[in-house]
Structure 1
Amino acid sequence: MANPDLSANQTSTPEASRQDQGLFRNHAPVQREGGRKMLRIMWNMIFNKPRNTRPAAAIPVQSLTLEDLLVAPDHSVYRLGHSTLLLKMRGKFWITDPVFAERASPVQWAGPKRFHQPPISIDQLPPIEAVILSHNHYDHLDYQAVLKLAAKTNYFLTPLGVGDTLIKWGIDASKVRQYDWWQGAEIAGIRFVATPSQHFSGRGLFDSNSTLWASWVMIDGDTRIFFSGDSGYFDGFKRIGEQYGPFDLTLMETGAYNVEWPHVHMQPEETLQAHIDLKGRWLFPIHNGTFDLAMHAWHEPFDRILSLAWERSVAITTPQMGEAFNLMQPQRGSAWWLGVEGESEGLVQSA
C-alpha cells in the first residue's frame, strides 16, 4: 500500500479505521446479507422493477463551458451528476467521485445507464487541483474518467487502498494521497480530512472491503464543506459535526435507499438528521437523478427530502445538473424534476 501523506494538518483519534483479517470494517457491526436475501434483492432489481425508476422524458441539464467555469466566483459548486461535483475554491477546481461513463458498471453494455449526459466533458474541464474519491464502487470510481483526468489533475485524494488501485491503473504514484479516517492534509491552502462513513467496498467477487470508504471534510478558511460519499446513518455524523462543524454546506447522499439495505444507504429522514448532526447550514442532496440503483421512483428522493427540509425549516438547494450554486449568494434552486414527470406526490409547497 502506498504511503499516505500525513505531514500536514493530520488529525488522529482512537476511531481510525479497523481491519478484521485484512479487511476494513465499520465501527458499528453491520449485518452481512445472506445468500438467500441477496438472490431475492437481485431478482427484484432485475425482474420486479417499477416503471418509474427511470424518468419518462429527458431531465434538464444546463451545459457548461470552460469559459463559464473560469469566470465563476470562488465557492461555486456544480453538480455534474450522481455524486460528481465540481467545486471552485481559491481559484482552483476540485472534483468529487468523477463518473462520466454511460453506465455505472464493470462493462458498458449492461448495468445502470445514465439518465442524462454530463453538463461538460472531461476534455472541456479546466485543470483540476485534486480529485476527491469516497470509495471504489462503480457509481463513484470510473476507470476511464480517472485515466482521462490524470493528465490535468495534480492530486488524487483517496481512502486507504483506493489509491493503490489508481496506481495499478497507471496513475503516477506521486499524485496519489491516501488516508485513513481522521487523517488528511492541506493542499493549495485547503484542508482535507477523510472522515468515517458507514458503507462497504468492492469492485468484484473477491475484493469485498479490501479498500476503505470515507466521507470528506473540506476547510477553506472560514468556509466548511462536507461530502458524505455513501453511508448509512450512524453516530459518526454527530462526531464529525462536533469536531469540524458547523458546515456551511453538506453534500449528502439522498438516493438508492431501500429497506433491504438499511445500514449502507440513508432514507431521506436519516439524510436530514445527518445534516442536522453535522451542524449543516445548506443541504445539497446528491446520489440521485443520474442512475437507477434501487426500487424507488427516480424523483422520490427529491420529493421526500424537499418536504422534510420544509417541515424542519432546513435550508436546502436542488439545482439542475450543471447549474451553479454559490455559497456566497446561496439559492434554493427549483423543483426541476416536476417538469419531467408532472406533479410528484407528497409535495405540499411550490419551490
Structure 2
Amino acid sequence: MSNNSALPRYRFDGKQYRNTQPLPKSGFKETVKIFWDFFFNKPSNTQPAAPFEVKKLTQAELLAAPDNSLWRLGHSTLLLKLAGEFYLTDPVFSERASPFQWMGPKRFHATPIGIEQLPPIKAVILSHDHYDHLDKAAVKALAANTQYFITPTGVGDLLAKWGIKEEKIRQLDWWQQTELGALTLVATPSQHFSGRGLGDGNQRLWCSWVIKAPQCRIFFSGDSGYFDGFKAIGEQHGPFDLTLMETGAYDPKWPGVHMQPKESLQAHLDVQGQWLLPIHNGTFDLAMHAWFDPFEQILALANSRQVALCTPAMAERLDITAPHKGQPWWRPLAKEAMAQSGIVANEPS
C-alpha cells in the first residue's frame, strides 16, 4: 500500500465508510420524488422496444482466443483473457438486477454465455456490492470454477456468508495490491456508496481497479461520481491502454455517485487512458435517460475531443493491445426511438 498521505482515502467510523468528500444529501421530499419518478414516470425509451439478440459465445471459442482479449457480457460484466487465464468483472447473470427475480430492472438481452459454459476463471474482480454488480446466484454458481474472488474490504465477508471458501477471498483497501500469477491488481478509489438492504448502508467499501498484465494495463472504474481521485490514479498507475469507464445510469439528481458522459470522458483523460470503452450501459434500465443515450453522448464527446473510443457489441472480441472502434451496434435497435427524439446520429471519427 502506498504511504503517500496526499492520496485520496475513504473515511471509516468503525461501522460505515465515507467518501473522501461528503456527498450532497437530498431532502425527504426530493428523495420521494426521485423514487416516484423512477418507478412511475419513466419515459418510454429507457429500454429497447423489445429484447435484442446477442452473439452466443462458446467455451471453445474463448479457449482458442489469443491473450489480451476482452468480451462484454453485459452492463459492467466483462470477461478478460490475460496471460493465459480468464478474469471476470462484476458478474451479473441473473434475469434482473434486483434482490427479487419477479421485479426490478430486467435484462435487455440474454447473457452471451452461461456460467456453466465458462472456462476456468482465475479471479472474479468485484467493485462493490450493489445488485447490478454483485449477483449472489452468479457468485455461488461461479465458486466451483473460480480460483479467487478479489473484493474491496467488507465485500469478501459477504461472500464468505454466502458460502465462498475464505481461502478463495482476497479483500483490499484503497491503494493495496495483490499478485495473481502474472497479474497485479490494485484497489483504487471511487466515489460511490454501498448496501444491499435497509440496514447495511455503506458497511462495505467500494472501489475501482487497476489491472496490470504483462502486455497491457487496464483501468476498471466500477461505479463512481467524478472526483479528483481519477487524477491521483493516473499519476500513480497510468497510463492505461484501455479504460473500462462507467457511462450510464446517470441523472442530474445524483451527480455525486454516477458520472455524466462528459465526466466519464474527463475521468478517462485524468487516469491517462489511451482507448475508452464505455460500460455500465446497454443491459439494464437504471435511470431516466434513453437506453441508447450513453452511447450517442460519449461518441459525440470522443469525436469532439479526438479521444479513441471503442464500442464493441456484446460478446464481440476486443484486442486490448490493438482495439478497434467497433460499430454503432445500438442504432438499428434504437432507430425509431432516436427518430422520435429528434436525435441526429454521430458517426465515429
TM class, shorter-length: over 0.9
Match of 2:171 in 1: 178
CA distance in 2, matches of 1:161, 1:289: 29
Q: Name the amino acid aligned to 2:2.
A: T
Query: Are positions 1:50 and 2:48 aligned together?
Result: no
Give 1:31-42 correspondences, 5 Å limit: 31-42=24-35
1:340 is displaced (CA, Å) by 0.4
Q: Give distance in 1, aligned partners of 2:257 and 2:311.
A: 23
Aligned ranges for residues 106-145 of structure 1 at < 5 Å?
A: 106-145=99-138
Identical amino acids, percent of aligned pairs: 59
C-alpha separation between the residues in 2 aligned to 1:104 and 1:35? 25
SS, match of residue 151 in structure 1: helix
Q: Which amino acid aligns with 1:11?
A: S
Q: Are residue 247 (structure 1) and residue 245 (structure 2) matched?
A: no
The secondary structure found in structure 2 opposite 1:78 is strand
Question: 1:4 is matched with which residue?
Answer: none
Q: CA-to-partner distance for each residue in 1:76-116, whole Å, 9 max, x for gaps?
A: 01000000000000110000000001000011000000000
C-alpha separation in 2, matches of 1:283 and 1:330: 10
Q: 1:333 to 1:60 in 2, by over 3 A?
A: farther
* Alignment CA distance shift 1:306-1:286 (3 Å): same
Question: Where does 1:1-351 land on structure 2 (aligned, <5 Å)?
Answer: 10-14=1-5, 15-342=8-335, 344=338, 345-349=343-347
SS in 2 for 1:77: strand
How many angstroms apart in 2 are the aligned matches of 1:85 and 1:299? 19
Distance in 2 (alpha carbons) for counterparts of 1:283 and 1:350: 13
Q: Structure 2-normalised TM-score?
A: 0.96
Structure-2 change in CA distance of 1:123 and 1:299 (3 Å): same
Give the Cα–Cα distance (whole angstroms) in 1 for the partners of residues 348 and 83 of structure 2: 35
- Moved beyond 6 Å, runs of 4+: none
Looking at structure 2, the residues matched to 174 and 63 of structure 1 have their Cα atoms a distance apart, in angstroms, of 33
Counterpart amino acid of 1:151? A
- Counterparts of 1:350 and 1:71 in 2: how far apart (Å)? 30
User: Which residue identity does 1:162 align to in structure 2?
Assistant: V
By how many angstroms is 1:222 displaced?
A: 4.6
1:16 is displaced (CA, Å) by 3.7
Q: Distance in 2 between matches of 1:348 and 1:103?
A: 31
CA distance in 2, matches of 1:112, 1:26: 27
8 Å contact kept, 1:13–1:182: no
Paired with 2:301 and 2:335, the residues of 1 have a C-alpha distance of: 20
**Contact 2:68 / 2:215 at 8 angstroms: preserved in 1?**
no
Normalising by structure 1, we get a TM-score of 0.95
Q: Tell me the amino acid that sits aligned with residue 195 of structure 1.
A: T
1:99-156 Cα offsets, whole Å, 9 max, x none, are: 0010000110000000001100000000000000000000000000000000000000
Q: Is the 8 A contact 2:299 2:346 kept in 1?
A: no
Root mean square deviation of aligned Cα: 1.2
User: Are the equivalent residues in 2 in contact too, given 1:257–1:266 (CA < 8 A)?
Assistant: yes
Asked if 2 retains the 8 angstrom alpha-carbon contact of 1:147 and 1:171, the reply is yes
Q: Distance in 2 between matches of 1:208 and 1:263?
A: 16
CA shift in 2, pair 1:258/1:43, >3 Å: same
8 Å CA contact retained: 1:199, 1:265: yes
Partners of 2:209 and 2:221 within 8 A in 1: yes
Aligned length: 342
Distance in 2 between residues matched to 1:291 and 1:271, nearest whole Å: 19
5+ long unaligned stretches in structure 2: none
Higher RCO (Cα < 8 Å, 6 or more apart) = 1
**What's the CA shift for 1:12?**
4.2
* Aligned counterparts of 1:319 and 1:177: Cα–Cα separation in 2: 31
Q: CA deviation at 1:221?
A: 2.5
Amino acid corresponding to residue 83 of structure 2 in structure 1: R
Q: Counterpart of 1:252 in 2: which secondary structure?
A: strand
**Cα distance between partner residues in 2 of 1:41 and 1:316:** 32
**Contact 2:9/2:19 (8 A) holds in 1:** no
